[in-house]
Amino acid sequence: MKPRIIILMHYMELGGAEISLIGLLGALDPARVDVDLFVYSHQGPLMKFIPEWVNLLPEIKAYSMLERPLRDVIKSGEVRVAAGRIVAKFQHAAYARRRGPVETVNDSIYQYIGSCLAPVLPKINPWQEYDLCISFLIPHNYGLKKVRARKKIAWIHSDYSTVHVNARKELPVWGAYDYIASISPDVTTSFLRTFPSLSNKIIEIENILSPAFVRSRAEETDVSEDMCGKLKLLSIGRFSKQKNFDNLPYIAATLVNSGFDELHWYIIGYGDEDTVRLHIAKAGMENHVIILGKKENPYPYIKACDIYVQPSRYEGKSVTVREAQMLGKPVVVTAYPTAPSQIRHGVDGVIVPLDNEGCARGLARFISDEPLRNRIAGNLGNLDFGNEAEVNKIYNLLGL
C-alpha cells in the first residue's frame, strides 16, 4: 500500500503559504502517496486549485470557527471554541503586560490560541493512522494533539528574528514533532536562535512552486486597461506592517520628485487598505500609487509590470518574489534579514536598503540601469525552478 499523508491548513486564501501548499500538492505523485487534506475552513479562491486526486476531508464546524468573529462563533453554537479563544486572549494579555506593550508581542498570541483550543477540538479523521502528518501553519498544536500519525512534521514560514514568541510556551510543541521544515537557511538560523535545542529536527524544504501553473495563469487575462504607463512597478501582499506598504507612497514620492514622473506603482492585496490610502494622500501620490485590491489571479499583473518590488520589513521567503522571477521579471527587494537567502544581488534581482531614502535611491539606480535589468531578466530565463529535490525530501521521510 502507498504511504498516506495528511496535511493541515487553515484556509485557501491568497497568501504565500497557501500558494506554496498548492505547489506542494501539485508536485506530489499520486502514484507514490495518498494525500488527505484537512482545511479548517473551506474558503478562499485557491480551493479550486486543490488537485482532484487529493482527498479533501469534510469541514468540521468547530475548526471552521477558529478565526471567525467571536460573535459568529457564539451564534454558531460553538461555545467551547468561543470560551477557549476568550481564555487565550486573557492569558496572552497577562503575558503581554509582563513583557511590555501588546503590539510588540502580538505574534506570541498564536501559541496561546493553540494551547487553549486544542483540548476542546475534536479529533481529525480519528479512525485513520497516517504515515506522515504535515502541519503547514502555526499553531501546530492541532496536528500534534488531534491526528494519529507515525511521523509528524511542522512547517516554519516566518523569520523568527522579526517576530516575538513566548519561547518557553512554544518549545514543547515544536519539540514534540519528529521534524521541522524550514523554508530557507536564514529562516533556519533565526529559528534556532530562539530554539537552539531543536537543531537536530530541522529539514530545509524550500517553498514548492509550479512554474507551469504560474506561467499558464499569467496568460489568462489582459490587464492593460488596469495597468498603464511607461514605468510600471508592482507589489503584492497583505496590507499589514510586514509588507511595509505604509512607506511605499513616500518612496514613490522621492522617485517622482527625482524625475521619474512617469512612474505608476501598483499594489495588489487586501487588509488594512485605509491606512495605505491615508499615506498615499499624505504623500500626494494619488496619481502614481494605485491600489488594485484583491486579485484572484495576480499573475497577469506580474507579467504586465516592468519591475516587481517587495518592500517588506521582514519575510520568511517571499513566494511572490519567486513567482515574479518565474515570469522573467526584474525583482527588487528591501534588505530584510532573509533577503540574501532569496536574491543573489545583481544576478537574479537586487537588494536595496530598507529605509525610505535608501530604497528610493536603490530603485532609481535600478530603473536607470537598463543593461542590468536586461541581464537579470536573461539570467532568470536560464534558472531551473524545478522542485524535484524538495519533494524528494518528503518522500525520504516516508522511506520512498
Per residue, what are the HEC states of the chain? Answer: CCCEEEEEECCCCCCHHHHHHHHHHHHCCCCCCEEEEEECCCCCHHHHHCCCCCEECCCCHHHHCCCCCHHHHHHCCCHHHHHHHHHHHHHHHHHHHHHCCHHHCHHHHHHHHHHHHHHHCCCCCCCCCEEEEEECCCCCHHHHHHCCEEEEEEEECCCCCCCCCCHHHHHHHHHHCCEEEECCHHHHHHHHHHCHHHHHHEEECCCCCCHHHHHHHHCCCCCCCCCCCCEEEEEECCECHHHCCCCHHHHHHHHHHCCCCCEEEEEECCECHHHHHHHHHHHCCCCCEEEEECCCCCHHHHHHCCEEEECCCCCCCCHHHHHHHHCCCCEEEECCCCHHHCCCECCCEEEECCCHHHHHHHHHHHHHCHHHHHHHHHHHHCCCCCCHHHHHHHHHHCCC
Region 283-310 average pLDDT: 95
- Which range is least confidently modeled, 65-79, 135-149, 154-168? 154-168
Question: Quick check: 135 pLDDT over 80?
Answer: yes
The Cα–Cα gap between 208 and 27 comes to: 8
What integer pLDDT is reported at residue 318 of this predicted model?
87
The Cα–Cα gap between 307 and 341 comes to: 20
Question: Quick check: 356 pLDDT over 90?
Answer: yes
For residue 355 the three cell numbers come to 529605509
**Average pLDDT, rounded, for the chain:** 93
Question: Quick check: 113 pLDDT over 70?
Answer: yes
What integer pLDDT is reported at residue 146 of this predicted model?
98
* Of residues 57 and 240, more confidently modeled: 57
Q: How confident is the model at residue 173 (pLDDT cuts 50, 70, 90)?
A: very high
Intrachain domains 4-209+388-397 and 220-381 with the same fold = yes
Question: Quick check: 102 pLDDT over 80?
Answer: no
Question: Quick check: 103 pLDDT over 60?
Answer: no
CA-nearest of 81, 82, 80, 110 to 95 is 110
Task: Say if residues 397 and 151 touch (Cβ distance below 8 Å).
Answer: yes
Peptide bond into 139 cis (omega under 30): yes
CA angle 28, 29, 31 (to 5 degrees): 150
* Of residues 97 and 377, more confidently modeled: 377
Task: Say if residues 245 and 268 touch (Cβ distance below 8 Å).
Answer: no
Task: Say if residues 81 and 60 touch (Cβ distance below 8 Å).
Answer: no
For residue 334 the three cell numbers come to 528591501
Question: Quick check: 272 pLDDT over 70?
Answer: yes
CB atoms within 10 A of CB 306: 17
Q: How confident is the model at residue 348 (pLDDT cuts 50, 70, 90)?
A: very high
What integer pLDDT is reported at residue 326 of this predicted model?
94
The Cα–Cα gap between 383 and 328 comes to: 10
For residue 42 the three cell numbers come to 473551506
Ordered by start, the domain boundaries in the chain are 4-209+388-397, 220-381
Residue 267 β-bridge partners: 235, 291
Contacts by 54-59, CB closer than 8 A, 24 or more apart: 54/25, 57/6, 57/124, 57/125
Q: How confident is the model at residue 338 (pLDDT cuts 50, 70, 90)?
A: confident
Task: Say if residues 40 and 7 touch (Cβ distance below 8 Å).
Answer: no
What integer pLDDT is reported at residue 100 of this predicted model?
65
Question: Quick check: 341 pLDDT over 80?
Answer: yes
Question: Quick check: 104 pLDDT over 70?
Answer: no
Question: Quick check: 391 pLDDT over 70?
Answer: yes
What integer pLDDT is reported at residue 381 of this predicted model?
87
What integer pLDDT is reported at residue 115 of this predicted model?
96
CA-nearest of 354, 357, 331, 355 to 343 is 331
Q: How confident is the model at residue 270 (pLDDT cuts 50, 70, 90)?
A: confident
CATH annotation of 4-209+388-397: 3.40.50.2000
Q: How confident is the model at residue 131 (pLDDT cuts 50, 70, 90)?
A: very high
Question: Quick check: 7 pLDDT over 60?
Answer: yes
Assign domain 220-381 one CATH number from 3.30.420.10, 3.40.50.2000, 3.40.50.720, 3.40.50.300.
3.40.50.2000
How many residues does the structure list for the chain? Answer: 400
Encode pLDDT of 210-247 as tens digits: 888 899 999 999 998 899 888 999 999 988 888 999 99
Ramachandran region, residue 259 (left: φ > 0; alpha: ψ -120 to 50; beta: rest): left
